[in-house]
Amino acid sequence: MAKDTLFKKKVTINTGGKLIDLSVPKVMGIINITPDSFYAGSRKPLLNDALLQANKMLADGADFLDIGSYSSRPGAEDISEQEEIDRLLPVVELITANHPDAFISIDTFRSYVAEVAVAAGAHIINDISGGQLDENMFATVAKLKVPYILMHMKGNPQNMTQRASYKDIFTEVLDYFAWRYHQLKQLGIHDVIIDPGFGFAKNADHNYTLMNRLNEFDVLGLPILVGVSRKRMVYGVTGGAADDALNGTTALNAIALTKGANILRVHDVKEAVEAIQIYLRSKSAHA
């Protein structure tokens, strides 16, 4: 049997009643309704600014919009569930009203926030904690019947930097996904996307080991989301700060595509779309 047929990778998700084919890589644009996200250019705490950002990202070719109102940068301030909802809901409602066909992902680890957001028009839950910070999250996703992005992280945004310790980073993350996905399947949740959680309780060596072995996660048969946009793993190599990391981000996204990434989660949609276009053209070339 050919190696690539040993594990059948799931390449479709049911989103808002529509089947989305992830065998052609997709782009997820980041909209942060926060005053303190790590990349200042992504902060859109004002309602109209968030809508303008959504307009631009969709025009640039975003397939999904990922909206978050709780900053998950290392050491970020913890905010209440109600403050998260108060920031989030008006933006979800406004974007849904202006772009009824847009697919909206909600970046939250709180099950009640997920429930409220889906009721307001959201379609996907993107949980940085993989259900570890809210024991009701898996059951809530099962009830909502929406796709779920299962990310790997240890601890929480306030203490994750101190927990970046592993004996074997790849095996530990793989085992985590296998166990959590088993729990999700038991609840009838099958539209699951995995995210290695670059930068979340991981140092540079951890991050690049996971990127180098990204295609090995295909053993799980699940689509993979990669979120490296403007992170320290980029500018720690190239120099500067998040503001200077667009070119390095595009290079790393291109590497991720060659290793099987199905979704690129980015601040800069146009450049990610172009990376995918070049990657697909390269794949289709014949000698």
Whether 231 is catalytic = yes
Considering the candidates 26, 87, 202, 265, report the single residue annotated as catalytic: 265
Cβ-Cβ contacts under 8 Å for 285 (sequence gap 6 or more): none
Amino acid at 90: P
Considering the candidates 44, 110, 231, 232, report the single residue annotated as catalytic: 231
Distance of alpha carbon 272 from alpha carbon 244, whole angstroms? 16
Distance of alpha carbon 89 from alpha carbon 117, whole angstroms? 7
C-alpha dist (Å) from residue 158 to 37, 81, 233, 264: 13, 16, 19, 25
Beta bridge partners of 102: none
Distance of alpha carbon 187 from alpha carbon 3, whole angstroms? 31
Q: Do 10 and 181 form a contact (C-beta atoms < 8 A)? A: no
Residues annotated as part of the active site = 231, 265
